[in-house]
Amino acid sequence: MGAASHYLEAAGIPTTGISLVREHTASMQLPRFLWVSFPLGRPFGAPHEAALQKRVLQTALELFERPGGPVLLEDFPEDAPADTDASSNQPAWSCPIAFPAAPDADESELVSAALNELRQLEPWHEIHLEQARVIPPASGTTKEQIIREIGRIAQGDKPTLADAERPLHEWLRLACDDLRNWYLDAAQGQPGRGSADQLQDWFWRSTAGARLIAAAASQLIHHHEPMVVMLARRAMVPREYLAELAPEIEPTI
């Protein structure tokens, strides 16, 4: 969305925005952006913190009054408070299912391990479905299909689910999001309450599903389509987990 600000500014429409990844915003030279040190997906900080959210919004709007624009990147001076919930006297989040680490497993073993994880997590996912609204898959494919297709890609085989109407980079982006979100939804069905950081760490550091995505990304950095290469390098695995899961991929901004 940040890139759209260039076109709006060129048309004479002033813009401002909130950045969660400072390096990306700085490299794109976006006009009047406020960087916040909050988790991805929470540009206004923690839930139920109306005063903080108002301060973030007001600070972003005040960038219109700053001299020296339109290219301007300022840092919001506050960190988000710890995750709290007005109704939570729940115990700290725990993950009763511990998946065995298999950093040296080949791609075929990762597919089997990931499918086994789905079976183990299914009861927890059902519990979460009873408690909260779950977003349907955007890729149009089941979680089992996603794992098998990503497994084919990780082994260097030709993908079968992408087509002319939904090219590989678009299907991959949606499919990886669908798979990760399914795991995170299942994790939230377990006892206690996990923060966003805890849930992300659990997925990327503890599951074969995450290792399978990383194996596919490592394979796709050599793909002939530039959009696929860009997705593999920048979006399939978060920067903070690249060295651990996909050392072949150099972090980019």
- Decide: helix, strand or coil at residue 17: strand
Give yes or no: residues 11 and 132 share one domain: no
Residue 117: domain span: 107-245
Chosen domain end from 75, 96, 128: 75
In a domain, 148, yes or no: yes
Closest Cα to residue 33, out of 78, 69, 74? 74
Convert the pLDDT of each residue in 97-117 to its tens digit.
556 555 455 567 899 999 999
Q: Is residue 209 part of a domain?
A: yes
Q: How many domains does the chain have?
A: 2
CB distance 114 to 209 below 8 Å: yes
Which among 20-34, 57-71, 80-94, 201-215 has the top mean pLDDT?
A: 201-215
> Could you tell me if 233 and 139 lie in one domain?
yes
Q: What does the pLDDT read at residue 188?
A: 85
Residues 184 and 61 in one domain: no
Mean pLDDT of 206-217: 95
| CB neighbour list of residue 110: distance below 8 Å, 6 or more residues apart | 102, 151, 154, 208, 211, 212, 215
pLDDT at 56 exceeding the cut of 70: yes
Same domain as 141, residue 19: no
Residue at 85 is within a domain: no
41 and 165 in a single domain? The answer is no
What DSSP line would sit under 34-57, residue for residue? Answer: EE--PPTT-TT-STT-HHHHHHHH
**Would you state the pLDDT for residue 229?**
93
37, part of any domain: yes
Q: What is the pLDDT of residues 130-151, one digit of tens each?
A: 887 777 889 989 999 999 999 9
Distance between CA atoms of residues 197 and 200, nearest Å: 5
